[in-house]
Structure 1
Amino acid sequence: MKRLNAYINHLFDGIPAGEQKDRVKEEIIRDLEEKVADLMDEGKSEEDAVNKVIVEFGDIDEIKRELDLPDNSARRGREMARLNLGFSLWGSGLIIALLIFINFYYTPGIIWFIYPTFAIAWWPLSMFYNWYRKKVDDK
């Protein structure tokens, strides 16, 4: 079982220490030890059972996401900022196109759509600033 504990400790090396990490690590070790015991009851040797459990366990990427590590939350924040920027560009573009259509369809002699366009342009500009700030902060 020392090999199993060493393997789990190695997987959790890059994760910052904390109560949640310790709790998850203990739970994983307990579950894996139970699996090893079950396989040994089925007739496998201890070494074969430990090897099988380690191979079946795989990696801990999903567990890292569940622990909400800072690097994952920062990446998620960047992705959300980029998504918000794209949404604001498309949304403001469609609103401005609607204003242009309304302007030229109903009052073609007076160009008034330019005034609300300046107000609408602040939306993607603020989203661009948010995205750029997150990008610079991460570097």
Structure 2
Amino acid sequence: MKRLTAYINKLFEDLPESDQTKKVKEEIIRDLEEKVADLVEEGKSQEDAINKVIVEFGDIEEIKQEMDLPKYPDNRKKELARLSLEYSLWGSGLIIALVVFINFYYTPHVIWFIYPAFAVAWWPLSMFYYLHRKKLEGKG
């Protein structure tokens, strides 16, 4: 039944570990294991029973809302968006610096680095708008 435990842990990975979360996970796993045992008694193979139980389990979001389980704060998503923006700024800066070096080292009489630099500049711009959207979602 390790597969059921792994499946439930995957569903609950966006929730912080707390006593309430652990109790809910243990209860769900116990219920699913009982269903698997019942299906095996009815004549299904264990693999088929596990697959059927997982498919019939449904959406975890309803359970999360019903149980009022603690969630990670929205600041975590904004922090990840900010880190993505910083990473994209540094990454695009390094790529542009490399292209400028290649341009002036090999073909100093032709200025062509502008074209790839323009293309690379879209990466941090998209990350900026992603961060901006996350900030607006946090206010609303």
TM-score by length of 1: 0.50
Corresponding residue number in structure 2 for 1:138 = 139
Cα contact 1:36–1:49 (8 A) shared by 2: yes
Corresponding residue number in structure 2 for 1:32 = 32
The residue correspondences of 1:15-94 to structure 2 (distance < 5 A) are 15-69=15-69
TM-score by length of 2: 0.50
1:58 Cα deviation from its structure 2 partner: 1.4
Kindly tell me the number of residue pairs found equivalent between the two proteins.
79
Q: Which segments of structure 1 move beyond 4 Å, counting only runs of 4 or more?
A: none
Q: Which runs of 5+ in 1 are unaligned?
A: 75-134
Separation in 2 of the partners of 1:136 and 1:4?
34
1:66 Cα deviation from its structure 2 partner: 2.2
Separation in 2 of the partners of 1:69 and 1:138?
22
Separation in 2 of the partners of 1:15 and 1:136?
19
RMSD, aligned CA: 2.7
- What's the CA shift string for 1:75-103, capped at 9, x where partnerless? xxxxxxxxxxxxxxxxxxxxxxxxxxxxx
Cα contact 2:20–2:69 (8 A) shared by 1: no
Structure 2 CA distance for partners of 1:61 and 1:4, relative to 1, 3 Å: same
2:13 maps to a residue whose letter is: D
1:7 maps to a residue whose letter is: Y
Separation in 2 of the partners of 1:29 and 1:138?
37
Between structure 1 and structure 2, the one with the greater Rg is 1
Corresponding residue number in structure 2 for 1:14 = 14
Separation in 1 of the partners of 2:49 and 2:56?
11
Separation in 1 of the partners of 2:70 and 2:19?
15
1:22 Cα deviation from its structure 2 partner: 0.3
